[in-house]
Amino acid sequence: MFGLELTTVWFVLIAVLWIGYFALEGFDFGVGMLVPVLARDETERRVMINTVGPVWDGNEVWLLVAGGATFAAFPEWYATLFSGFYLPLLLIIVALILRNLSFEYRHKGDTAAWRARWDAALIGGSFLTAFLWGVAFANIVAGVPIDADKEFTGNLFTLLNPFGLLGGVVLVLLFLTHGAMFVALKTDGEIRHRARALAVRIGLAAAVVAVVFLVWTQVQTGSVGSAVAFVVAAVCLLAGIGAAAAGREGWAFLGTFLTIALAVGGLFLALFPDVMPSTTSAAFSLTTTNAAATPYTLEIMTWVAVAFTPIVIGYQTWTYWVFRKRISTHHIPTADLAAARG
């Protein structure tokens, strides 16, 4: 019985890790996609990149821990997911690598062509990752063909169904809105005002598409808990858009943060107690019990999580506090500007 309880605990913990990843990494994906839209020159591009420069790598820790926790707590889920979704997950890893390299190497060259290539890696990597995560999670929740041996029997085109593609579009739009809110919160001057206005426009489009997706999810596989989460997520998004229109960037960013957190949480509520439903037969679905590790493994993991999770959260909170101030074009050193123009 204790083991069964721990399977639910670890399902919740993995949901929290994915919520943290999407709510935090979501805004720096959004910033990456918005570089060619909001920045009018090299100085403003530097400002935008610097808004996420101190935190993007810390945000990705949530992904690494979520993947590791899934491997240890639900090995059958991990095996089916990572073998069946091999190609899209490989594309996500490649996109993340290119995106992360852009942060490290963009400033190491002095030519406009060099910076343009790394900007393309940042923009493309951010967009592709956001879109494919949306496709992947939509399919996980809706279900995929899994046989009696717990093996995925579909292919890449199985995942590129209308529901999956809509999930990808929703996540891109939410991340764009979240990123624009973050730029408005973290910058000053003209770029701040452009970001705030853009956040309102993209946010309205995101609200329409997200409502369609969440209603579709609820009809297909929802629960009472997911319905509540989805409704509150929609309210938070509208409140965030309203706050942005009123010039309240802090509240606006909180609105999109809660929107993503509640929407992802609602997807996990719709999924539970399955971890990967089978469209072939309900008897073949992976659940929190038949996909879980041994009770002893879960018990050890729980003690490790209790010890180290507060440390990780505390450190990341401290990082955000240290880099909390706004930045603008006058914070870019003059020597750097001269090199950029050269």
For residue 72, is it within any domain? yes
Peptide bond into 273 cis (omega under 30): yes
**Would the pLDDT of 72 be above 60?**
yes
The pLDDT value given to residue 331 = 64
Site of tokens 């909170």? 317
Task: Give the residue among 135, 110, 101, 114 at the shortest CA–CA distance from 32.
Answer: 101
For the ranges 40-44, 87-91, 105-109, the one whose mean pLDDT is highest? 87-91
For range 142-168, the mean pLDDT: 91
**Would the pLDDT of 335 be above 50?**
no
The tokens for 105 are 């190497």
**Would the pLDDT of 338 be above 50?**
no
**Would the pLDDT of 189 be above 50?**
yes
The tokens for 21 are 């990843």
pLDDT above 90: percentage of residues in the chain: 59
The tokens for 123 are 């923009």
SS3 of residue 243 by DSSP: helix
For residue 231, is it within any domain? no
For residue 209, is it within any domain? no
With b meaning 16 or more CB within 10 Å and e meaning fewer, what string describes 98-112?
Answer: bbbebbeebbeeeee
Number of domains in the chain: 1
For residue 276, is it within any domain? yes
For range 35-44, the mean pLDDT: 89
* 110/337: higher pLDDT: 110
The pLDDT value given to residue 185 = 93
The tokens for 292 are 């879980």
Any idea how long the chain is? 342
The tokens for 36 are 């060619």
For residue 78, is it within any domain? yes
Band (pLDDT 50/70/90 cuts) for residue 59 is confident
The tens digit of pLDDT for each residue in 247-304 reads: 999 999 999 999 999 999 999 999 999 999 999 988 999 999 989 988 888 889 889 8
**Would the pLDDT of 113 be above 50?**
yes
For residue 192, is it within any domain? no
**Would the pLDDT of 336 be above 80?**
no
The tens digit of pLDDT for each residue in 204-218 reads: 999 999 999 999 999
The pLDDT value given to residue 330 = 67
For range 239-252, the mean pLDDT: 94
Residue 278 phi, psi dihedral angles, 5° rounding: -100, 130
Q: What's this model's pTM, rounded to 2 decimal places?
A: 0.92
For residue 185, is it within any domain? no
For residue 105, is it within any domain? yes
Range list of H helices, the chain:
2-38, 42-52, 56-73, 75-84, 86-105, 112-142, 156-159, 162-186, 190-221, 224-245, 249-271, 295-322, 334-341
Query: Measured between alpha carbons, how far is 299 from 193 in angstroms, rounded to an integer?
Result: 50
- Residue ranges making up the domain that contains 304: 2-143+151-171+272-341
